[in-house]
Amino acid sequence: MLDLSQYQGIVFDMDGTLIDSMGEHMLAWEQTCKHFGYPFDAEYMNGLGGVPTQATVVLLNQKHGLSHDPLQVAQAKRRFWEQMNSAPVTIDATIAVLEHYRTRMPVGVGTGAERPHAEKMLRDTGLMDKIQTLVTASDVRQGKPHPETFLQVADNLGVPAQHCVVFEDTEIGRQAAEAAGMDCIMVENGRILL
């Protein structure tokens, strides 16, 4: 087992880190982009993993010179995603870390997902009862790469940020962790990178 004894708290991102849902989100984004006339670039969109949906729309508008309403596009993306109605699958490597440490130190989730989506995913996978706090895009003013999400998780856990470690699957999430003064362990395609 990964030795995290130097830390006092663990923060997990959700999509792509604890739950393997990035593929479905990309399909929903592809449908959304087509619907609103954005060229779909899978590599670019994957790079925005962890950015709240409305903030992603702002970036898409800037990139493509469009002016769609972020809330309207976000609601459409959510509808496309919900229509898939597939059961979430957890990522074994990070779940093993969560299970090993959850009785040893506080554990929280900091995600760019909206609260209703995050709560449903965590409930459906049985993870909601295994964490002490959940901070979502609905709970912060500035999403990743800003550190607010992770700082709020640390505050809710009662652990100084510099004593927390973050598990993330995106570069934007890593930037948020580092900006929060936290070490970051990357997860790629279901594997923990050391």
Specify the CATH number for the domain of residue 35: 1.10.150
Do 99 and 162 lie in one domain? The reply is yes
Q: Is 13 a catalytic residue?
A: yes
pTM of the full structure: 0.81
The tokens 């976000």 sit on which residue?
74
Residue 22 has pLDDT above 80, yes or no: no
**Cβ proximity of 28 and 22 under 8 Å:** no
In a domain, 2, yes or no: no
Do 13 and 106 lie in one domain? The reply is yes
**Cβ proximity of 135 and 111 under 8 Å:** yes
The mean predicted confidence, pLDDT, of the chain is 93
Give the mean pLDDT of 14-37.
90
Do 131 and 52 lie in one domain? The reply is no
Residue 174 sits in which domain range? Answer: 9-21+88-192
Residue 58 has pLDDT above 80, yes or no: yes
List, for residues 80-116, the tens digit of each pLDDT value: 988 887 778 899 999 999 999 999 999 999 999 889 9
Taking Cα atoms as reference points, which of 55, 34, 56 lies closest to residue 45?
Answer: 56
Do 162 and 101 lie in one domain? The reply is yes
> One of 3, 13, 69, 92 is an active-site residue; which one?
13
At 26, the amino acid letter reads: M
Q: In what order do the strands lie in the sheet with 133-135?
A: 133-135, 107-110, 9-12, 164-168, 183-188, 191-192
Do 137 and 67 lie in one domain? The reply is no
Do 113 and 43 lie in one domain? The reply is no
Do 109 and 49 lie in one domain? The reply is no
